[in-house]
């Protein structure tokens, strides 16, 4: 995998995990309903796991930028 592909993958993962985290937050707190307890539990679990995906994608981004010789801010 080339550094450009890693950078694209990292950006895609960061955006996807951020948007999914927003939906998980909405599902856990704003779309609360007694008949959808499984959805609420899954949303809370997703709120724990999605930041991990975001952080791994950020490290992948830093590695790709370093491989390209670009500054990572």
Query: Model confidence over 2-58: pLDDT tens digits?
Result: 999 999 999 999 999 999 999 999 988 887 776 678 888 899 999 999 999 999 999
Does the pLDDT of residue 68 top 70, yes or no? yes
Two tokens at 51? 């930041």
Q: Under a CB-based contact definition with an 8 Å cutoff, are residues 3 and 68 in contact?
A: yes
Two tokens at 52? 């991990």
Query: Does 54 map to a domain?
Result: yes
Two tokens at 61? 């981004």
Query: Does 13 map to a domain?
Result: yes
Query: Does 19 map to a domain?
Result: yes
Would you call 1 helix, strand, or coil by DSSP?
coil
Two tokens at 11? 């950006």
The number of domains in the chain is: 1
Query: Does 37 map to a domain?
Result: yes
Q: List the domain range (segments joined by +) for residue 61.
A: 3-68
Two tokens at 31? 């779309």
Query: Does 64 map to a domain?
Result: yes
Two tokens at 15? 């955006």
């Amino acid at each position: 995998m080339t550094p450009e592909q890693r950078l694209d993958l990292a950006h895609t993962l960061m955006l996807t995990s951020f948007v999914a985290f927003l939906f998980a937050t909405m599902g856990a707190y704003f779309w609360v309903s007694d008949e959808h307890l499984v959805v609420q539990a899954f949303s809370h679990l997703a709120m724990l796991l999605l930041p991990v995906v975001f952080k791994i994608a950020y490290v992948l981004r830093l590695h790709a930028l370093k491989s390209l010789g670009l500054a990572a801010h």
